[in-house]
Amino acid sequence: MTELDGGAIARVRLEEVARIGPYFAVGHGAAPAGAGWRPASALVADRRIVGSLIDDVAVKLGTSDRWIAASIFYQGWAARLTAIYAGSAALCGVVPDLRADLISYRLPTSGLVDMNISTLVPLAARPGWRSLQDRHLGPLAATIRHEVRIGSYLLLGNVGSALAGALAAIAGAHGEPLAELVHRSWAQPVDIAGSGRWMRTPAGPHYARLTCCGYERLDRGGRCADCSLNW
């Protein structure tokens, strides 16, 4: 891991990143006072916590298919983290370390999960992705797979889809051509390269994943724009 010098910490401008949209927002400092805040490290390590959250998601989705609930939960989690990563890389040139033991979370009654970084450790983008994947998203996927029968390739597809969505949001908010943004080195992590691809279309780049998250199988669901079933 490549930690940057202390002066670089000012370049991780979380307030500026948050202005891209709600998925990009994250607190900084000691976990805010009040009920509901929990360490992400406990979530990653404890299949009972994960199992309870998956069951809650299943109830909200109205499904008895726990694998679908697990997939939707993981995609939402990955969407928050990859947005913070990508927004910081695009706007600041550095990213905060998003390993699980630096993150606290709170599940609201509705809407997006709240997240907070206890210590802002600035990393170059590539090692920042490695920390996010190897010390947060990857271990969480493993814990989910201990609790629910679901493929690791599908979960990697969720991460790829989440990062693609973050890139599209950044391009829309800042007017940078998406075709240029998706070709930045930090926007193409090797470990999710096989989970989908950016396609050229008359309307511009369009991401197509190679797996289905399962959302279209829900009674009130639908097919996602990047679903493998579309191609």
Convert the pLDDT of each residue in 129-158 to its tens digit. Answer: 999 999 999 999 999 999 999 999 999 999
pLDDT per residue as tens, the chain (231 positions) = 444 444 444 477 999 999 999 999 999 998 777 778 999 999 999 999 999 999 999 999 999 999 999 999 999 999 999 999 999 999 999 999 999 999 999 998 778 999 999 999 999 999 999 999 999 999 999 999 999 999 999 999 999 999 999 999 999 998 889 999 999 999 999 999 888 989 888 888 989 888 887 767 776 766 777 676 666
Residues 137 and 78 sit within 8 Å (Cβ to Cβ): yes
DSSP 8-state secondary structure symbol assigned to residue 18:
H
Q: How far apart, in Å, are the Cα atoms of 119 and each of 5, 9, 46, 73, 122? A: 14, 10, 23, 25, 10
**For the purposes of burial, counting CB atoms within 10 Å of the CB of 99, is it exposed (0-12), middle (13-18) or buried (19 or more)?**
buried
DSSP 8-state secondary structure symbol assigned to residue 3:
B
Report the C-alpha gap between 85 and 91 in whole angstroms: 10
Convert the pLDDT of each residue in 62-95 to its tens digit. Answer: 999 999 999 999 999 999 999 999 999 999 999 9
Residues 146 and 62 sit within 8 Å (Cβ to Cβ): no
Residues 128 and 99 sit within 8 Å (Cβ to Cβ): no
Report the C-alpha gap between 227 and 161 in whole angstroms: 9
**For the purposes of burial, counting CB atoms within 10 Å of the CB of 153, is it exposed (0-12), middle (13-18) or buried (19 or more)?**
exposed
Q: Give the relative orientation of helices 152-174 and 66-92 as an angle to the nearest 10 degrees.
A: 40
